[in-house]
Amino acid sequence: MAHTRGVHGGSKTVRRRRHAPAPSPHGHLPVYGGRFTPAHAERLLWRAGFGPGRGEAAKLSRKGLRAAVLSLTRPHDRSLHGPAPTTQNGQPIAPYDAWGEDVLWWLDRMVRSRAPLVERMTLIWHDWFATSNDLVNSQRLMIEQNETQRRLSLGSFPSLLAAMTTDPAMLIWLSGADSTKQAPNENYAREMQELFTLGAAQGYSERDVREHARALTGWTSVWSQATGQRENFHFDAKLHDDGVKVIYGHRGRFGWRDSVRLALEHPAHPRHFVGRLWSYFCPEPLSRRDARAAERLYVSSAKRIRPVVEAMLMHPLVHSGPRMVKPPIVQIAGMLRGIGRYIDTDAWAWESNLAGQMPFYPPNVAGWEADRWLNTGTWLARFNLCAQMIDDARALTPGGHRRGAPVDPRRLAAQALDFWGRPAVSAATRGALVAYAKSAAVDAASASWEREQYPALALGALRALVVASPDYQTS
Amino acid sequence: MSGPAPHRACGCRDYNRAELLRHAAAQAGRGLPAIDPGMPVPAGTGLSRRGFLLASAGLALSVYGAGRALDPRVFEEGIAQAAAAPAQPVLVSVYLQGGIDAMSVLYPAGDPLYARYRPALGLPEGAGPAFSEDPRLHWHPQAAPLAQLHGEGKVSVMPAVGYADPDQSHFTSRHFWEVGATQTDLLTGWMGRYLDLTGAPDNPLQGLCLDESLQPSLATARMPVAAIDTPSSYSFYARDVWGPPQEIMYDCFDALGGVGARSGDAAMRQSGQAALMSNALRRQLTPFQADPGGSAPALPAGYPKSDDHFPQRMASVAQLLGAGLPLRCVSVSTESVFDTHDNQAEDFNKGLDAAAQTLLAFQRDLEARGLADRVLTLVWSEFGRRPQENASGGTDHGAAGCAFVIGTRAAGTMVGEWPGLAAGLDDLGNLRATSDFRGLYCSLLEQWLGHDAAPIVPGAASLARSRLVR
């Protein structure tokens, strides 16, 4: 499969500069100038979305790189298409109330949205501002935070940071609510700098943490006996410390808006923003030169997210650089898209959890550990969830092989790939699949009933083996 | 069906980044995740890892070691040889996650400023047992098991341990404690360096972590060390597949894993190695598969019944030692998280209760097995919390914290003193340290493990030793 070159294996990358690199409208970041094949479009859809639906990669590749990227970053259609999600009993889901159905609610959007980058950016912001319902203990507040992240997903980062700073789930998670003048809580002040805007030890002091904490005081909520939840999150000037603070050498009677502004104006912020955002799209860091260009682009576009994402998604490293392991929830959504299945069971919540990623429950405030998704436990889970993907309607009928007809191992492997929407795989992986098909469907079968049954059994195994392949688990 | 296991922690979970980065530790040649450029590289980064099953103990091990072929059969022999050699002293390190509030473990009811600093969280004088070595201090009611051991002369208490210029990041401070130095660039743990100097090339059990992956204090440069995963049922299921096509399917795991492992691409390699490792583990665990639906083994008497793995893991340490396995340095951490920015009264009590009961049960277990004179347990946390409580019913990150050395051979006398709230706070309002954790390590190395601290703890010559071992 020649067209997979440049996508599989960084060392084998063949750059085909048939066209001169297109000039970038954005801040002089280089633009990928090689062929934009269906395999490249497939990778782009996995990195900036949840993989292609059937035929989508070929369709996207025909647009060319620039139009393909813009179709993702400037979607015309944000509505959902296809049947509404249900549980396995056919009941509508209850995202606010039932365990795991918050995950189904979001997974459904990942599967049905025609604006996949918006959902993917929402997942990025969920990781960036990682908040866990473990502590928030309200699926409603978590979903409201998620809606905010979606609404602002490609907008202004300052708006997003301001919204997160006063978001009720975040106010619970990082102790912002009930942090008062008398006793400011440093939790949010520390993480806002360390994780959200500047990076650990990047030009701020313990004193700055404390002063930010003072500036951020005043947010509170009301405990509702009726619902047993915190409600009515609001700013109460009586709880706010309106004294003079000194943050990064600036003096003033700072409040929470100043706190957010000062962190965003800190010289270390653009570098942190670009470095962290890029890491979601590509495992190889930008060169210092390209990073500087991205930082300038970010600052000159008033810290808006969309221009930076557009430039990043056109960067050569995204298209011909190293591969990335698909996050578990991304792979699950993509498998469903590949087979054309919608949300009709709550299994995906626990399957995703076993595979190492339970949306709305990141392991800690730093989010998921994106370069360590795979180990013996999560690999097992990714394999076993294939069985769940194959519902009764998609199960194989045993003994379907016509007596006496020759078995073609290549055809069996192709059928298994076809089942998942024909993902691109390397020649070596295809070879391993074909070799398995031959040994299981041909060599192992001697009795006539075996020759009849084994091709279907082998095809069943091949479906799972495609998903077990390093090609499928990465993009 | 239930949700994920509840954490008893506040939202500040950045202590967990140690966890997060630690998982990266086993991969050769990898840097840190890019999100936190200022963070120290976790000890253990760069070690290669192999999983195998120690058949003699029925345990799945992950073995970490750098630069040598790791053949499970060699280890089986090495372990048998080491087990036959004369018994060596054992050091068990217990990490209290998240920065425990030392000022609640031993609360200064007798300090005139206590009530002012802890208006909501403060405990009355009579709530917990008196601490015999300082009339100002009382043990928290949930620390009663520790008070009991202290009364038996088996606990050395460090009421304010830390270091100069304390760092209040969970990650950085924990890193210091793990590597045994206030340096961000050290890649090996303090116990790991001890094992590098004294360990055997074929005994990974000499440095054993009861956890899913290696704790940095055990990270070595040369000698193999191991982590034990909880052995559990591990089986693959593919729909519509049975018989020989299913058996042959597992061989294809290796074929696909090989494609990934041989790839020049790091993500492909990660996937390929996971496939190879998973299939190796599947093969190794097949003879040990628990009955489907079988329950977890019962805990020995005395250990608290709990959802969390800490009591089980401590019981496993005693069991492994009882089976004669050649453990020398062991690390375990609590699953309870003591990062109590809010709701401290409830979360702290629950966590301390489980930890203290487990430590007492472990000590009794060792005594009953006749192992008590061979084992010392060091209990530590990355920092203490701020004396001034916050308005969320919790406490923020502070400086000096508490540590304990437990065992029949522990000297049983206080190291350093509790500095008092009037004079003992630094200009950020945090407790000043009256003993240094690096001096504590030097003392343990020299008095318990019988090795000069100089090549292990940087700056050992200038660090004060205390009598920790009788």
Distance to chain B for A38, nearest Cα, Å: 20
Confirm if B379 and B352 have CB atoms less than 8 A apart. no
| 3-class SS string, chain A | CHHHECCECHHHCCCCCCCCCCCCCCCCCCCCCCCCCHHHHHHHHHHCCCCCCCCHHHHHHCCCHHHHHHHHHCCCCCCECCCCCECCCCCECCCCCCCCHHHHHHHHHHHHECCHHHHHHHHHHHHHCCCCHHHHCCHHHHHHHHHHHHHCCCCEHHHHHHHHHCCHHHHHHCCCCCCCCCCCCCHHHHHHHHHHHCCCCCCCCHHHHHHHHHHCCCEEEEEECCCCEEEEEEECHHHCCCCCEEECCEEECCCHHHHHHHHHHCCCHHHHHHHHHHHHHCCCCCCHHHHHHHHHHHHHCCCEHHHHHHHHHHCHHHHHCCCCECCHHHHHHHHHHHHCCCCCCCHHHHHHHHCCCCCCCCCCCCCCCCCCCCCHHHHHHHHHHHHHHCCHHHCCCCCCCCCCCCCCHHHHHHHHHHHCCCCCCCHHHHHHHHHHHHHHHHHCCCCHHHHHHHHHHHHHHHHHHHHHCHHHHEC
CA dihedral for B201, B203, B205, B211, sign (positive or negative): positive
Determine the pLDDT at residue A13. 39
Asked whether the beta carbons of residue A185 and residue B248 sit closer than 8 angstroms, the reply is no
Which of A133, A173, A187 to probe by mutation at the B interface, max B CB count within 10 Å? Answer: A187
Task: Give the closest residue to A34 by CA, choosing from A309, A314, A424.
Answer: A314
- Residue A365: its chain B contacts at CB < 8 A? 11-14, 16
Q: Which residues contact A15 (CB under 8 A, 6 or more apart)?
A: A6, A33, A34, A316, A320
In this complex, do B249 and A440 lie within 8 Å of one another by their Cβ atoms? yes
Tell which wins on pLDDT, B82 or A450. Answer: A450
CB-CB contact of B281 with B49 (8 Å): no
- Is B342 in contact with A194 (Cβ distance < 8 A)? no
Helix (H) or strand (E) holding B21: helix B16-23
For residues A88 and B230, the model is more confident at A88
CA distance B53 to chain A (A): 13
Residues in chain B, overall count? 470
Render the burial of A92-131: b for 16+ CB within 10 Å, e for the rest: ebebeebbbbbbbbbbbbbbbbebbbbbbbbbbbbbbbbb
What per-residue confidence (pLDDT) applies to A311?
Answer: 97
pLDDT tens per residue across span A122-181: 999 999 999 999 889 899 999 999 999 999 999 999 999 999 999 999 999 999 998 999
Burial profile A360-395: b = 16 or more Cβ within 10 angstroms, e = fewer: bbbbbbbbbbbbbbbbbbbbbbbbbbbbbbbeeeee
Among B97, B145, B86, B139, which Cα is nearest to B363's?
B145
Q: Which of residues 275-314 of B touch A (CB under 8 A)?
A: 275, 277-278, 281
- What pTM, to 2 d.p., does this model score? 0.64
Instruction: With CB atoms and an 8 Å threshold, state whether B268 touches A474.
Output: yes
For B:81-140, CB contacts with A below 8 A are none
Check CB contact under 8 Å for A366 and B6: no
- For residue B120, the chain A residues in CB contact (below 8 A) are none
Percent with pLDDT over 70 in chain A: 92
pLDDT tops 60 at residue A318: yes
Judge whether A66 and A72 are in contact, CB under 8 Å.
no
To the nearest whole Å, the CA of A74 is away from the closest chain B CA by 27
Mutate to test the interface with A, among B165, B184, B229, B271 (most CBs of A within 10 A): B271
Lowest mean pLDDT across A299-313, A411-425, B194-208: B194-208
Q: With beta carbons under 8 A apart, name residues in chain A contacting B227.
A: none
Q: How many CB pairs under 8 A join A and B?
A: 286
Q: Is the pLDDT of residue A285 over 80?
A: yes
Q: Do A175 and B11 touch (CB under 8 A)?
A: yes
CA distance B6 to B147: 29
Distance from CA of A28 to the nearest CA of B (A): 23
Residues B396, A185: C-beta atoms closer than 8 Å = yes
- B267 and A194 within 8 Å at the Cβ level: the answer is no
CA dihedral sign of residues A88, A94, A98, A102: positive
Contact state of A131 with B11 under an 8 Å Cβ cutoff: yes
Task: Enumerate the residues of chain A whose CB falls inside 8 A of the CB of residue B240.
Answer: 390, 395-396, 398, 456-457, 459-460
Residues from chain A contacting residue B168 (CB–CB below 8 Å): 206, 209
Q: What is the pLDDT of residue B5?
A: 35
If you average pLDDT over every residue of chain A, what do you get? 91
Residue of chain B whose Cα is closest to the Cα of A176: B392
Sign of CA dihedral B263, B268, B272, B273: positive
Q: Which pLDDT belongs to residue B291? A: 40
State the pairing for strand pair B90-97/B106-107. unpaired
The pLDDT assigned to B1 comes to: 31
B165 in contact with chain A, both atoms CB, cutoff 8 A: no
- Residues of chain B contacting residue A401, judged by C-beta atoms under 8 Å apart: none
Q: Which of B4, B14, B238 lies at the smallest CB-CB distance from A365? A: B14
**What pLDDT does B234 receive?**
63
Task: Write out the H or E segment, with its range, that includes residue B349.
Answer: helix B344-368
Residue B60: per-residue pLDDT: 54
What does the pLDDT look like over B118-135, one tens digit per residue?
Answer: 999 999 999 999 999 999
Residue of A134, A199, A201 lying closest to B7 (CB–CB): A134
* Cα gap A168→A185, rounded to integer Å: 16
Q: How far apart are CA B347 and CA A301, in angstroms?
A: 46
CB A244 within 8 A of CB A251: yes
Cβ contact A303:A263 at 8 Å: no
- Check B256 against A468: CB less than 8 A apart: yes
Interchain contact B68–A (C-beta under 8 A) = no
Q: Which of A137, A353, A442, A457 would you mutate first to test chain B, the one with the most B CBs within 10 A?
A: A457
pLDDT per position as a tens digit, A90-111: 999 999 999 899 999 999 999 9
What are the backbone angles phi and psi of residue A43, rounded to the nearest 5°?
A: -60, -45
From A175, A379, A429, residue closest to B392, measured CB to CB: A175
User: What pLDDT is recorded for position B176?
Assistant: 94
Nearest to A461 among B234, B246, B267 (CB): B246
Cα separation, A378 vs B274, whole angstroms: 9
Could you tell me which residues come within 8 angstroms of residue A459 by beta carbon, excluding any fewer than 6 positions away? A396, A412, A415, A416, A441, B240
Q: Average pLDDT, stretch A457-469? A: 97
pLDDT, tens only, B78-111: 666 776 777 899 999 999 999 999 999 999 999 9
Residue-wise pLDDT tens digits, B26-35: 222 222 222 2
Chain A's closest residue to B276, CA to CA, is A376
| DSSP-derived pairing of the beta strands B225-228 and B207-210 | parallel
Task: Nearest by CB to B239, from A178, A395, A454: name it.
Answer: A395
Closest CA to A364 of B227, B384, B97, B94: B97
The structure tokens listed for B98 are 């998240």
All residues of chain B having their beta carbon less than 8 Å from the beta carbon of residue A129 are none
What SS3 state is found at B197?
Answer: helix
pLDDT surpasses 70 at A356:
yes
Query: For residue B33, which residues of chain A lie inside 8 Å, CB to CB?
Result: 279, 369-371
Answer for the pair B432, B426: CB distance below 8 angstroms, yes or no: yes
Helix axes A305-314, A65-73, angle to 10 degrees: 150
| Cβ separation B252–A426 shorter than 8 A | no
pLDDT < 70 regions, chain B = 1-80, 83, 212-213, 227-234, 280-281, 283-298
Q: How many residues does chain A have?
A: 475
Q: Which residues of B touch A200 (CB under 8 A)?
A: 36-39, 169, 171-172
